[in-house]
Amino acid sequence: MSDIPYSNGTNNGNGNANGNGVNGRGHSVLNGYRKSCWYEEEIEENLRWSFALNSILHTGATPFQDIALLDTKPFGKALVIDGKLQSAETDEFIYHECLVHPSLLHHPNPKSIFIMGGGEGSTARELLRHRTVEKVVMCDIDEEVVGFCKSYLIVNSEAFCDPRLELIINDARAELEHREEQYDVIIGDLADPIEGGPCYKLYTKSFYELIVKPRLSKEGIFVTQAGPAGIFSHTEVFSCIYNTLRQVFRYVVPYSAHIPSYADIWGWIMASDTPIELSADELDLRIKQRITGENRYLDGKTFSSASTLSKAVRKSMVNETHVYTEGTARFIYGHGHGHGSAYKLD
């Protein structure tokens, strides 16, 4: 796991323990010691995001990535992989409803789904709420992360036990390559493309063109998470993943939503050779007809809003020329396996 530095809380004379710039509002300081443990993530070179922890529930390292489960004060239990917060208890429903439901609702009759990644189980959970779904294949490369999530993320227990779910431990590219069947929807629930990470090759034009597209059924839809999509951060990978998919599919729809625990707007991109066009009312009707239970975040109007990007981002997306290849990969800020977050006891 990444380094876990502990400070001794000694006051350095500027009113803050260790000079870390945290003020005293809401933080009890007794004899130079604050009573909080903090998680800190470096989002950019000059920007860090931190929040208070109740405890560190688990840390470990697999052959592919570093993992941690944190009990955070503002966001509940949070899964961290390679120093990047992947999912938090209080707001993961925003990410997973946005990732899953638009593609399945736009498809006329989605029965078979393939998830690339998704070891946490939340994507499968949302998919299995759809009455039309008969088979979900979840392919994650990291068996230890899947086992870890099965043990700790109780909210997804039913999904892991659902007979419609087929769990495969393998590289998603290799698995799709050797499978002959086609899928109505393929979902990229992958870690962000970070330098040294295991996933960046699954964002390339060759992968989309040679592996993903041939595995889609006639009216099939591909959707992927596509990294930060904020007014400044969207140029890291969101815009070039969008442009790359435009080289492969006829219809490409980017959309985004604010996720509080990510400290940013987040992006997803749908792509198909069949038009992706449903009104808010049509989406609401399909939600009512197809989905068991009630969505907490996504409905027709919400998707209409999510797929209406701001003027600056729209302009940037239209003008993007970069195509994502293995030789011209772009990465979000950070490093794979052994770098990233820190846990500070203040």
The amino acid present at 190, given as its one-letter code, is: L
CA–CA dist 184, 113 (Å, integer): 6
33 closest CA partner among 21, 16, 51, 49: 16
Phi/psi of residue 220, each to 5°? -65, 155
Residue pair 252/271 in contact by the 8 Å Cβ criterion: yes
The beta-carbon contacts of 230-235 under 8 Å, at least 24 apart in sequence, are 230/264, 230/265, 231/265, 231/310, 231/312, 231/313, 233/264, 233/265, 233/332, 234/265, 234/267, 234/313, 234/316, 234/317, 235/316
CA–CA dist 105, 279 (Å, integer): 11
Give 12's DSSP letter.
-
Residue pair 343/36 in contact by the 8 Å Cβ criterion: no
Residues annotated as part of the active site: 189
If DSSP codes are grouped into helix, strand and coil, which group holds residue 187? strand
* Sign of the alpha-carbon dihedral angle for 317, 320, 325, 328: negative
Other Cβ atoms within 10 Å of 218 Cβ, number: 8
289 burial type by CB count under 10 A (0-12 exposed, 13-18 middle, 19+ buried): exposed
DSSP secondary structure string, 99-136? HHHHHHHHSSS--EEEEEE-TTSHHHHHHTTBTT--EE
* Sign of the alpha-carbon dihedral angle for 226, 187, 40, 258: positive
Give 91's DSSP letter.
T
